[in-house]
Amino acid sequence: MSTTLVNPATGREFLEVPAATEADADAAIARAHDAFPAWRDVAPGERARLLRAFAAIVGQHNEELARLEVENSGHTIGNARWEAGNVRDVLTYYSAAPERLVGKQIPVPGGVDVTFHEPLGVVGVIVPWNFPMPIAGWGFAPALAAGNTVVLKPAEITPLTAIRIGELALEAGLPPGVFTVVPGKGSVVGQRFVTHPDVHKVVFTGSTEVGKQIMAGCAEQVKHVTLELGGKSANIVFADADVAGAATAAPGAVFDNAGQDCCARSRILVQRSVYDEFVGRLETAVRDWRTMDPSDEQSQMGPMVSAGQQASVQRYLDGVTIAFQGGTPDGDGYWLPATVVESTDAREPVWREEVFGPVVAVMAFEDEDEAIALANDSDYGLSGSIFTHDLGRALRVSRGVQTGNLSVNSHSSVRYWTPFGGYKMSGLGRELGPDAPYAFTEEKNVFIAT
Ligand code: NAD
Instruction: Give the tens place of pLDDT for each residue, 4-22.
Output: 999 999 999 999 999 999 9
| From 69, 156, 228, 431, active-site residue | 228
* Residue 419, domain member (yes or no): no
Instruction: Give the pLDDT score at 144.
Output: 98
User: Are residue 344 and residue 374 in the same domain, yes or no?
Assistant: yes
User: Are residue 371 and residue 273 in the same domain, yes or no?
Assistant: yes
Instruction: Give the pLDDT score at 319.
Output: 86
- 262 annotated active-site: yes
User: Are residue 336 and residue 437 in the same domain, yes or no?
Assistant: no
Report the atom number in ligand 1 closest to the C-alpha of 184. 11
* Residue 49, domain member (yes or no): yes
* Residue 421, domain member (yes or no): no
Instruction: Give the pLDDT score at 13.
Output: 98
CATH classification of the domain holding 265:
3.40.309.10
Instruction: Give the pLDDT score at 58.
Output: 98
* Residue 440, domain member (yes or no): yes
Q: Closest residue (by CA) to atom 22 of ligand 1? A: 186
- Domain around 79: 2-229+426-449
Label residues 1-38 b or e (16+ Cβ within 10 Å = b): eebebbbbbbbeeeeebebbebebbeebbebbbebbee
**What does the pLDDT look like over 82-138, one tens digit per residue?**
999 999 999 999 999 999 999 999 999 999 999 999 999 999 999 999 999 999 999
- d(C-alpha 289, C-alpha 220), whole Å: 48
- d(C-alpha 49, C-alpha 96), whole Å: 9
User: Are residue 188 and residue 103 in the same domain, yes or no?
Assistant: yes
Instruction: Give the pLDDT score at 195.
Output: 98
**What does the pLDDT look like over 327-365, one tens digit per residue?**
999 989 999 999 999 999 999 999 999 999 999 999 999
Alpha helices by DSSP H, 221-273 = 243-255
The total of structural domains in the chain comes to 2
Instruction: State the pTM of this model.
Output: 0.97
Strand pairing partners for 6?
13
* Residue 420, domain member (yes or no): no
Three-point CA angle 70, 71, 73, nearest 5°: 65
**What does the pLDDT look like over 370-390, one tens digit per residue?**
999 999 999 999 999 999 999
**What does the pLDDT look like over 157-216, one tens digit per residue?**
999 999 999 999 999 999 999 999 999 999 999 999 999 999 999 999 999 999 999 999
User: Are residue 261 and residue 218 in the same domain, yes or no?
Assistant: no
For the beta carbon of residue 392, count every other beta carbon within 10 angstroms.
8
Quickly state the pLDDT bin for 412 (edges 50, 70, 90). Answer: confident
Ligand 1 center from residue 227 Cα (angstroms): 10
Task: Tell how far CA 63 is from the center of its chain.
Answer: 21
Work out the mean pLDDT of the chain and round it to a whole number: 98
Mean pLDDT over residues 142-166, rounded?
98
* Residue 316, domain member (yes or no): yes
Instruction: Give the pLDDT score at 262.
Output: 96
Instruction: Give the pLDDT score at 1.
Output: 86
User: Are residue 125 and residue 262 in the same domain, yes or no?
Assistant: no
**What does the pLDDT look like over 66-83, one tens digit per residue?**
999 999 999 999 999 999
Contact 139, 155 (CB under 8 A): no
User: Are residue 180 and residue 274 in the same domain, yes or no?
Assistant: no
Instruction: Give the pLDDT score at 408.
Output: 98
CATH classification of the domain holding 97:
3.40.605.10
* Residue 214, domain member (yes or no): yes
**What does the pLDDT look like over 384-409, one tens digit per residue?**
999 999 999 999 999 999 999 999 99
pLDDT at residue 413 above 80?
Answer: no
User: Are residue 218 and residue 147 in the same domain, yes or no?
Assistant: yes
**What does the pLDDT look like over 214-240, one tens digit per residue?**
999 999 999 999 999 999 999 999 999
CA 152, 155, 158, 159 torsion: positive or negative? Answer: positive
- d(C-alpha 345, C-alpha 354), whole Å: 16
User: Are residue 215 and residue 277 in the same domain, yes or no?
Assistant: no
Ligand 1 center from residue 323 Cα (angstroms): 31
User: Are residue 225 and residue 240 in the same domain, yes or no?
Assistant: no
Q: Ligand 1 pocket check: which of 138, 207, 220, 261 to mutate, most ligand atoms within 8 Å of Cβ?
A: 207
* Residue 348, domain member (yes or no): yes
| From 83, 262, 354, 431, active-site residue | 262
Q: Is residue 111 classed exposed, middle or buried when 0-12, 13-18 and 19+ CB atoms within 10 A define those classes?
A: exposed
Q: Ligand 1 pocket check: which of 262, 266, 423 to mutate, most ligand atoms within 8 Å of Cβ?
A: 262
User: Are residue 290 and residue 432 in the same domain, yes or no?
Assistant: no
Q: Name the phi and psi angles at 444, rounded to 5.
A: -105, 135
User: Are residue 335 and residue 431 in the same domain, yes or no?
Assistant: no
Report the atom number in ligand 1 closest to the C-alpha of 231. 34
pLDDT at residue 257 above 90?
Answer: yes
- d(C-alpha 183, C-alpha 223), whole Å: 22
pLDDT at residue 442 above 90?
Answer: yes
